[in-house]
């Protein structure tokens, strides 16, 4: 508003320029969701500081998910790619409290960013590379979109198949605890892909009992259980499918679901290796070069 008041002292031509500057460079008040998504995507792609994100105003979670929809569209076009799966974030109370909510969040994973076991990641492709040990599950049958709500684990099990130890790849651009729920959601929950181990057939109802370690360059960095993920990894998928249906989406046959971190996040450096060793599942590993 100060700029608009000062513009009264300018001639008509300069006043118009001043108003335009206020609208588009002051606090981006008039940006639509697509414009906000483009700005966020470009910040992520160019490895800009997370501080640039706060030039964008995101009013609530509904707007955040609309921005995420546009973010995903932009990413698909930029990578000439399609969705290969989904991740669920904020699956424990500590992380939820950190961003001031009591609910998980989700983000899409591009097919080209789903890496094979023992693959290599280029350290220069990230501003602040992070990784989490997770239990991943393959969708073997597309969930119907006309179901209003799935109510329990038994209802979703027929749509699920093989289980993997997985390592999610994230880049928080050094935001740490400075971000909030809306900004996390809007930038696709910070997902930059994942690495999958070998598929295993296992009783899905026992996933909460699995225990595992996150290992960085041969040293145990953190340990956890399947129970750490919303009390059971299937609860994570139950949340996800119901959220996607509300968004007009669903889970498709062949997609992989990262159910949430069983331990803390590690931040590997160049030359490190990162491994998830979850009992009952084949280990998974990647190298940073």
101 pLDDT tier (thresholds 50, 70, 90)? confident
Query: What does DSSP say about strands 83-89 and 219-225: parallel, antiparallel, or unpaired?
Result: unpaired
Are residues 100 and 61 in contact, defined by beta-carbon separation less than 8 angstroms? no
- Domain 80-288 has what CATH class? alpha beta
Say what the pLDDT of residue 5 is.
37
Intervals of CATH 3.90.850.10 along the chain: 80-288
7, pLDDT greater than 50: no
pLDDT higher at 224 or 15: 224
Q: How far is CA 226 from CA 83, 139, 259, in A?
A: 25, 19, 9
Q: Quick: pLDDT tens for 163-191.
A: 999 999 999 999 877 778 999 999 999 99
Q: What is the pTM of this model?
A: 0.88
Say what the pLDDT of residue 97 is.
80
Say what the pLDDT of residue 100 is.
80
45, pLDDT greater than 80: yes
Q: How far is CA 71 from CA 53, 74, 93, 207, 228, in A?
A: 13, 5, 27, 32, 29
19, pLDDT greater than 60: no
Are residues 106 and 168 in contact, defined by beta-carbon separation less than 8 angstroms? no
29 pLDDT tier (thresholds 50, 70, 90)? low
pLDDT higher at 27 or 105: 105
Are residues 131 and 152 in contact, defined by beta-carbon separation less than 8 angstroms? no
Backbone angles phi, psi at 31, to 5 degrees: -70, 140
104, pLDDT greater than 90: yes
pLDDT higher at 97 or 85: 85
Who's near 195: CB < 8 A, 6+ residues apart? 114, 115, 116, 117, 119, 166, 167, 169, 284, 285, 286
Say what the pLDDT of residue 94 is.
75
65, pLDDT greater than 90: yes
Are residues 150 and 144 in contact, defined by beta-carbon separation less than 8 angstroms? no
Q: What are residue 168's DSSP bridge partners? A: 132, 194
Q: What is the mean pLDDT of residues 147-151?
A: 95
205, pLDDT greater than 50: yes
86 pLDDT tier (thresholds 50, 70, 90)? very high
3-state helix, strand, coil in the chain (%, to 5): 40, 25, 35
Are residues 241 and 200 in contact, defined by beta-carbon separation less than 8 angstroms? no
Mean pLDDT of the chain: 90
How far is the C-alpha of 261 from the C-alpha of 223, rounded, in Å? 10
How far is the C-alpha of 175 from the C-alpha of 51, rounded, in Å? 8
Q: What is the mean pLDDT of residues 239-250?
A: 98
92 pLDDT tier (thresholds 50, 70, 90)? confident
How far is the C-alpha of 104 from the C-alpha of 96, rounded, in Å? 7
Say what the pLDDT of residue 20 is.
37
Q: Tell me what percent of the residues of the chain surpass a pLDDT of 90.
A: 81
Q: Quick: pLDDT tens for 109-133.
A: 999 999 999 999 999 999 999 999 9
Q: How far is CA 85 from CA 114, 191, 250, 276, in A?
A: 9, 11, 11, 19
Who's near 172: CB < 8 A, 6+ residues apart? 50, 128, 130, 179, 190
């Amino acid at each position: 508003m100060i700029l608009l008041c000062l513009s009264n002292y300018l001639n008509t031509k300069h006043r118009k320029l001043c108003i335009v500057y206020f609208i588009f460079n002051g606090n981006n008040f008039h940006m639509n969701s697509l414009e906000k998504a483009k700005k966020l995507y470009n910040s992520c792609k160019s490895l800009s500081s997370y501080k640039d994100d706060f030039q964008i105003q995101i009013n609530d979670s509904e707007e955040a998910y609309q921005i995420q929809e546009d973010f995903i569209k932009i990413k698909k076009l930029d990578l000439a790619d399609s969705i290969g799966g989904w991740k669920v974030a904020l699956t424990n109370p500590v992380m939820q409290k950190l961003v001031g909510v009591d609910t998980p969040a989700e983000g899409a994973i591009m097919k080209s960013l789903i890496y094979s076991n023992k693959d290599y990641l280029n350290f220069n492709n990230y501003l602040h590379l992070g990784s989490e040990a997770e239990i991943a599950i393959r969708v073997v049958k597309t969930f119907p979109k006309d179901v209003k709500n799935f109510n329990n684990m038994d209802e979703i099990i027929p749509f699920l198949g093989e289980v993997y130890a997985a390592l999610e790849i994230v880049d928080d651009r050094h935001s740490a605890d400075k971000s909030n729920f809306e900004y996390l959601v809007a930038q696709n929950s910070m997902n930059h892909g994942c690495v999958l181990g070998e598929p295993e057939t296992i009783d899905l109802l026992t996933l909460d009992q699995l225990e595992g370690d996150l290992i960085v360059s041969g040293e145990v960095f953190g340990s956890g259980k399947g129970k750490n993920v919303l009390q059971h990894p299937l609860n994570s998928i139950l949340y996800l499918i119901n959220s996607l249906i509300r968004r007009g989406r669903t889970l498709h046959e062949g997609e992989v679901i990262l159910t949430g971190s069983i331990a803390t996040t590690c931040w590997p450096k160049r030359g490190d290796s990162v491994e998830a060793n979850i009992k009952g599942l084949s280990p998974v590993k990647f190298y940073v070069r």
